[in-house]
Amino acid sequence: MKKNVLILVFLGVLVLLPNLVLADCAGLGNFTSFSVARSNTVTLYWFNKPFVKFDVQGSIEPTSKLQLVKSYVCDGDDVLVDGFKVTILNVTSSISSSND
């Protein structure tokens, strides 16, 4: 019986693992500035180093006010652009976790 449960748990992990690995998430709490490309791609900077890039559903201007709803976001979460909620898409971390 234990062997059957372990097999089921293992198969369940195999089914769920790709979804966990493919979920794009990033911590955005430390950004000091941002830039906009193609009116919907945002790059966040920590001082002069880019560290996160994401797309938004809709458009954003370089002069827009960007506010975080929460500091750690994943695809499908929201960010405030000029006071309006927009959906974050395709979050990618632009730098490695190593200290250069």
pLDDT tens for each residue of 34-54: 999 988 999 999 999 998 999
Domain count, the chain: 1
Q: Could you tell me if residue 74 is inside a domain?
A: yes
Q: What share of the chain is helix, strand, coil (3-state, %, to 5)?
A: 20, 40, 35
Average pLDDT of the segment spanning 49-62: 90
Asked if the model's pLDDT at residue 31 lies above 80, the reply is yes
Asked if the model's pLDDT at residue 18 lies above 80, the reply is no
Q: Could you tell me if residue 12 is inside a domain?
A: no
Q: Could you tell me if residue 18 is inside a domain?
A: no
Q: Could you tell me if residue 67 is inside a domain?
A: yes
Taking the CA atoms of 7, 10, 12 and 18 in sequence, report the sign of the dihedral they define. negative
Q: Could you tell me if residue 4 is inside a domain?
A: no
Asked if the model's pLDDT at residue 16 lies above 60, the reply is no
Task: Kindly report whether the global pTM for this prediction surpasses the value 0.85.
Answer: no
Q: Write the single-letter amino acid at 47.
A: F
